[in-house]
Chain A
Amino acid sequence: MLTYTIRRLVLAIPTLLFISFIIFLIVKLSPSDPTAGLPLTIPPEVREQIRESLGVNDPVLLQYFKWLRLMVWDEPLHLLENWTGWNVAPDGPRIISYQTRSPVMDLIVQRMPQTLWVVGTSYIVGILIALPIGIISAYRQYSVFDQIGTFVSMLGFSVPTFFTGVLFIVIFAVNLGWFPSVYDTTHEVTDWDSFIVQLKQIIMPVMVLGLYNASQISRFMRASMLDNLNQDYVRTARAKGLSERAVVLVHVLRNSMIPVVTVIALNVPAVFGGAIITEQVFKVNGIGQLLIIAIQGGDVPVVQTVSVIFAVLIVLFNLIADVLYGILDPRIRYD
């Protein structure tokens, strides 16, 4: 297993280099201009100077290698210094965002907690809702509960979050006035009251995303349970006189979890990636919002860096899912 993991990790390096280069080309060759958003009152000569000072006019390959060197060496050291306080970071240039003229990695570090809070919570909430629904729906297939569960998850899966998000705001913030429509990113939880405030402002984005996640996972759970419920070993277990509870929750559930765990693990990078639309709707300053603002503003270094970090996470969690699979299912061996 260890050799397998190491082999996969080594193989990931060329993959990631290739991905980063392709992303760079796509972003760079698309018609975007960091000065496009400026008012027309700013004359073209000044715009040209701004582009020049941002290094937009350098040859594309040179820009890529400059970025790559900073990305694989300087920036990780800065991150390390940030986390540990050791004085290891080199002086000199960093990956600078066109829009804010500040280091891209600082922006990501600043935004990661909000994304993990909101999107992470919604993921956990989604899983917690989905598993019981999936289990019951499968056990009582075609019952009223199953029909309702199927309907709700189809709804959650097919209605886009920009619709549910705004719908929630109109119902719960405008008409009922229960929750704020704008997420206060400066809010700090220090005591019970501030925790309640945090709960109130996080509940709508979490529910919007949670509904979507739950729909997806509950369908997987249901299908996987159905597969197993008809297996011979279930009949054997029942014939041995085990209680229904033990049959379903011990024997069937454990076997059914294998594919579901894979699906859950494969979706974890999306948590880090934030939820572009939901974050924008509720004004959560997460990674997704950072990415969309950067795309709109032609901010190549931010788009590039964030996308590559996603790529790293996706490659990493694919590996984790594969390894987990081996741990959960003793029949699977990679060596």
Chain B
Amino acid sequence: MNTELFGVISIFIITIVLAIPLGKYIAKVYLGDKTLLDPIFNPIEKLIFKISGINSTEEMNWKQHLKALLSINMVWFFLCFFILLFQGSLFLNPDNNPSMSPDLAFNTAISFMVNCNLQHYSGESGVSYLSQMFLMFLQFVSAGVGLAAAAMVFTAMKERTTDKLGNFYNYFIKSCTRILLPLSAIVATILVFSGSPMTFEGKDAITTLQGDNVEVSRGPAAAFIAIKHIGTNGGGFFGANSAHPLENPTYLTNAVELWAQLIVPFAMIFALGFYLKKRKFSYVIFGVMTVGFLLLVIPTVMSEINGNPAIERMGITQATGAMEGKEVRLGPAISGFWSIATTVISTGSVNSMHDSSMPVSGAMELLAMMVNAFYGGCGVGILNFYVFIILAVFISGLMVGRTPEFLGKKIEAREVKIAAFIAILHPLLILSGTALASYFAANDTAMGFWFSGNATGWLNNPGNHGFSEMLYEYTSSAANNGSGFEGLGDNNPFWNITTGIVLLLSRFIPIIGPLAIAGLLANKKYIPESAGTLKTDTSIFGVMVFAVIAIIAALSFFPALALGPLAEYFTLK
């Protein structure tokens, strides 16, 4: 067990150490400074912009940013939707997998467009290689959109009284080519040499050692797995995601994939500090997030190592921890750590089955997504945190009786209203979705078109755990996370459509909000710092932000958590 704990701690520390230089590099990319990859990508980008007739140098205000962001997403959605709908008869389909039903194509296209990757299909049988490649395209660009939005907010924080906030297409393409693409290429190379497949051949039929005939799924997986983590997407190439031995063959690849999903969100926080030349401010943010992260990780890893008390009572040995839904090569310690890493960040890839996690771990995974602001996904993590900063500045301002100011700009009613709306939207979507599904399940309603059979049929587990399955699905959708309590029968119109709507709202409104706040603030008059200014780069302010997050995010979910994982914990004890 010591070698496992050592693995967890060293991966975490290595990632933090490497995130600082990467953050410096990212700041340079967005500032437009010269970087190493310019000679390769500058000409390519110029060519792309020239052919498509897009001006990538014209300065945009926040509304123009938003318009460009939303239109490009719309184009991606329709393209993806139609590819999935007709994949069965298109090329690159060696396994002859069928086309998707309209509701599943709707859910899948949205889910990959919004960086969530909730998958209501299994990779081996649900998509063709063509679809896999297009979904991989969305994994790049959806992460790029998040980063571009964050870059605009960075610019707005830096500038004094302006509405010129850079160019969306410029930030977007640079995020993709200078950050996501090179990192993915490194990770993919490590993966192919560690045994992940990268082939366009279909399933292989073999006869096993004891004489059974079996088919083995393969595919162009390594390229996909790399960007799925670097872009904090999380959608698996295979059904079992990163628990699949070809998707995550060794302890080393597991470490690399963990590193890959943590590195960009970590680096973005440091990038903010370098960009604004306020490094202390970024350390405060990173500190708050890390405290939150550790509070979630430690109980999870401990309860997975201790194992299932109900199995303990059967008299066998759980020296290797809770093993249901886990892989021997990974073990419970790193699986527990991963389950929190993947939920605080909006990755949602799994290397163990969360549905079989211990109740405490399940509660922590849920809470990580409910807070949704510790590290967070590519770009959007920092946007979510930005909302909490605005609220914390406002509340602290009221407490000391001064007009709240943030980075030299007055925060007034309009900004606070937007921030409060964003903060409330998240629990609203999760809890009303769960209430709807639970209502049907409690009455065992016949669902007609929406689900074949009665509503309890979509549950894989009874009682409190069944409630957790439904809660988890909406939480994962609203956090744009994509992991699941996968026992839930979710490939049907009810779940495909309701979660699809939650996905859309919870992706774009939390992008629109911070963009609007940042845009409005950037336009205001700059007030130089004085003795009366609330300092935002102190640990006191850090405590304040943490308190706001704990009160708003965590407490609104306490009743739901009590009905699900907490109740299960006490029945199991």
Task: Determine if chain A interacts with chain B.
Answer: no
A interface residues (Cβ-Cβ under 8 A, vs B): none
Q: Which of B's residues lie within 8 Å of A, judged by CB?
A: none
